[in-house]
Amino acid sequence: MQVIHIGNPILRKIAEPIENFDAELSSFVEELTKTMYEEDGVGLAAPQVAVSKRLFVFDDGSGPRVMINPEILEKSIEQISMEEGCLSVPGIYADITRPAWVKIRYQDVEGQIHEELFEGYSGRIVQHEYDHLEGILFIDYLSPAKKALLRPKLNNIMKGKVSK
């Protein structure tokens, strides 16, 4: 399983819902989780491995988790800024402002529905990975000036000249 980088059009597509909760899905989740750890990530969405499906895995330090067909139900009004990076935009880090918490409804690998509130570090990860399912990258939150400064690095990533 290979992580794709900015410039690949799959990263800009809205991912398709998952309908089959079967052995193939379980196997994919295992592989995605393994890839996340191999790449030293804290989260990895299916579109980042060129699979346009509404699924991501993450580990906020309390073990691997999976969210299938997630939907954000509520967001806090309070905003928090933290540094983010992304396996699909290697070597780029920036402070991104996001809601302090989100309430999400999602399915697990068996198709069971859950609702949960995520805040702090886990809230940050979940929002970042959710964005991947919507075709949004963290660099989309940057000001035009900051994007202009990063343009040479971003162009190199898109040309396949990656530095981690």
pTM, entire model: 0.93
Q: Average pLDDT over the chain, rounded to whole?
A: 94
Sorted by sequence, the CB contacts under 8 Å of residue 23 that are 6+ apart come out as none
Condensed to tens digits (0 to 9), the pLDDT of residues 5-55 reads 999 999 999 999 999 999 999 999 999 999 999 999 999 999 999 999 999
Does residue 129 have an active-site annotation?
Answer: yes
Sorted by sequence, the CB contacts under 8 Å of residue 96 that are 6+ apart come out as 81, 82, 83, 84, 128, 138, 141, 142
pLDDT given at position 163: 55
Residue 164 clears pLDDT 60, i.e. is over it? no
Condensed to tens digits (0 to 9), the pLDDT of residues 63-113 reads 999 999 999 999 999 999 999 999 999 999 999 999 999 999 999 999 999
Q: Residues 30, 83, 119, 129: which is the catalytic one?
A: 129
Q: Any binding-site annotation on 86?
A: yes
pLDDT given at position 152: 87
CA distance linking residue 24 with residue 63, whole number of Å? 22
Q: Any binding-site annotation on 128?
A: yes
Query: Which superfamily does 9-158 belong to?
Result: Peptide deformylase (3.90.45.10)
Locate 56 and state its tokens.
């991501």
pLDDT given at position 157: 87
Q: Any binding-site annotation on 48?
A: no
CA distance linking residue 63 with residue 82, whole number of Å? 22
